[in-house]
Amino acid sequence: MKYFLFFLLNIWVLNVIGQKNDFTISNISLPPEIAYYDNQFSGLFVHKEKLYFMSESRLQDKAEAKLYSIAMVDLEHKMLDTSFILPYKKIPIKNLDVLRKKMDAIGDEYEGLEAIVIKGNNVYLTVETTTESDNCYLLKGILNDTAVLLNDKDIMLQPKPITPVGNHVYNAGFEAMALSNNLLFSFFEFNYFPTINKVNMIQLNSFNRVSLSDFVIKPLPFRLTDITSTGKNTFTAINFFFKGAGKDEVYRMPINEIENNALIKDSSGYHSYCRLVKIKYKKSSFTWEPLWDFPVEYMSHNWEGIAAYKNGYFIMNDKYTKVKPYSSVLIYLHPKK
């Protein structure tokens, strides 16, 4: 009986925490070219009053390496007038195929782009590789009005952390990046190792000339799929659990973790779950706390992009939605007053 009461208390506490923040949701219909599911968007970033969308750019599937951009003034117009047709710009990413060959030469197999940060005219992109590959990568390029030009010399190894039994976490890469002044933080997707979980720190003014520094992050269950800066050393991230079985079971929780299991499992079994978490950086370490649970109808979308804007957030999926036909979905979370 005492264990049952403890379980109910935990559920109540989690519900109270989840109610600290709340949002209303605007669904933003996208032009067909951007809504096409096989863009597989994996990152969002706001820069100079534009929202940038980063495609996974799966070269191995003959996909085009590209970004899209939409002006913020047009997105705000769209939220007020749903009949408005959004203008947009496609921005090709040059030299990604050249860098892919460099990864192949090392023995790492390119899978796709996963995170984007823009500072000034510089663009930083993370590359996920196949599970068997030893390293992921961080790339640097220059953004102009017509293209991103990647420098084939600006390629930085991001070694994957190893599980206690000596292998790599299934289907995991450095899925999120965030800026703090002249520091770039690169977060691994899986941050629930039984030993220390670490975040890579890169000095932007010495990119590719010094080794990565490791900072500790408090263990975070499930996946961390993207992150956005919201203030000095403060960030908001997407924390997503996919209900899949097989190799995806690595993201499930130990049976004795009542609180975490209550979020992802009920009497019918596992279900997908997604929330926003607030992450803080202080003294070379990161802590986190729950911020907001997605409504049930949005839980199963594979959310992979977040960008803070005017006290709210743009959120984007890769392609997977609750039901078919799949499509790229953009929403904006308005903070309730």
**CATH number of the domain encompassing residue 197:** 2.115.10
Q: What's the CA gap between 99 and 284, in Å, rounded?
A: 31
Q: Where do runs of H (alpha helix) occur along 149-244?
A: none
Structurally, the chain folds into a number of domains equal to 1
The pTM of this model reads: 0.92
Strand (E) or helix (H) holding 77? helix 72-80
pLDDT at 6 over 70: no
Contact by Cβ (8 Å): 99, 126: no
pLDDT tens-place string over residues 24-62: 999 999 999 999 999 999 999 999 999 999 999 999 999
- b/e map of 240-269 (b: 16 or more CB within 10 Å)? bbbbeeeeeeebbbeeeeeebbbbbbeeee
Average pLDDT over residues 108-116: 98
Domain membership of residue 39 as a residue range: 2-335
Q: What percent of the chain has pLDDT over 90?
A: 86
